[in-house]
Amino acid sequence: MKVVVGKALNDEEQLLLQLRNGDYSAYHRFYAMYAPMIMSRLRRLVLNSDIAEELHQEIFFQIWNEKEKLPNHVSLKAILLHRAKLQAYKYYHRTSKDRQMRAQLIAAATELYDQLEEQINFKETNALLMEAIAKLPKQRRKVFIRIKLEGKSYEDTAKEFGVTPSTIKDHMTRAFKFLRAELADENPNLFFLLLVSTLFK
């Protein structure tokens, strides 16, 4: 008779299983493993240590309260990074109505713009942004769509178009500069979100 042996769980899968079952010691191990990394990410995302601390507490509070709902086959690191990004986006949406705060955030995002790779989430975009993308030169538009809408890497896109990754990077840099200029006048709020999104590397 053939015996089927199940795949052994690795350490993180075992920890996640224990956490979902309400093991508080597993939660403490989980916190010790990832809390510093998430705090570092939040401080860079929101540019304010006090706000980062609040969001940090909220994220780990949510993890414990929603432990039974944590997805299978997704790493704890991936879960936390997604939560950090989501909480930071929510923070920016809440504060974007405050003129003074928005001015500070725009200044910070603009200063960091050339230092960070642009990471814009286009899953929930609007017509104005799509119209701006449509105005890009044909080849640049295709490159932009491959990377930002279809999620392809710079390397894969370079192979597809038969160019070097540096050429693709140049296309993306020029595309973002055009979109910033196009959206600044048409939709300041969308422009604000475009700038803020450069922090989400």
Residue 2, pLDDT above cutoff 50: no
User: What is Dmax (Cα atoms) for the chain?
Assistant: 73
32-36, 61-65, 111-115: segment of lowest average pLDDT: 111-115
54 to each of 31, 43, 90, 139, 146, how far by Cα in Å? 15, 11, 13, 44, 36
Residue 57's pLDDT band, with cuts at 50, 70 and 90, is: very high
Alpha-carbon span 101 to 105, nearest angstrom: 6
Residue 36 confidence class, pLDDT cut points 50, 70, 90: very high
Chain centre to alpha carbon of residue 101: 21
In this prediction, residue 97 has a pLDDT band, given cuts at 50, 70 and 90, of low
State yes or no: pLDDT of 6 exceeds 70.
no
Question: Rounded to an integer, what distance in angstroms lies between the CA atom of residue 137 and that of residue 171?
Answer: 10
Per-domain residue ranges for the chain? 11-95, 99-197
Instruction: State the CATH architecture for 99-197.
Output: Orthogonal Bundle (1.10)
Enter the tokens of residue 154: 């710079």
Average pLDDT over residues 68-81: 82
pLDDT, tens digit (0-9, with 9 covering 90-100), for 102-161: 666 655 555 444 433 344 444 444 566 777 888 899 999 999 888 877 778 899 999 999
What pLDDT band is residue 7 in, cutting at 50, 70 and 90?
Answer: very low
Q: What percent of the chain has pLDDT over 70?
A: 70
The CATH code for residues 11-95 is: 1.10.1740.10
Compute how many other C-beta atoms are within 10 angstroms of the C-beta atom of residue 197: 18
Q: Are 32 and 38 in contact (CB under 8 A)?
A: no
Is 99-197 the same fold as 11-95? Answer: no
User: 159 vs 155, 163, 166, CA distance in Å?
Assistant: 6, 6, 12
Q: How far apart are alpha carbons 7 and 10 in whole angstroms?
A: 9
pTM for the full model?
0.50
pLDDT top residue among 33 and 100: 33
pLDDT at 46: 79
| Among 5, 13, 95, 81, CA closest to 44 | 81
Q: pLDDT (tens digit, 9 = 90+) per residue, 149-200?
A: 777 889 999 999 999 999 999 998 888 878 777 765 555 555 555 555 544 4
Encoded tokens for 153: 């890497």
Task: Give the CA count within 13 Å in the CB-facing half-sphere of 17.
Answer: 8
What average pLDDT does the chain have? 75
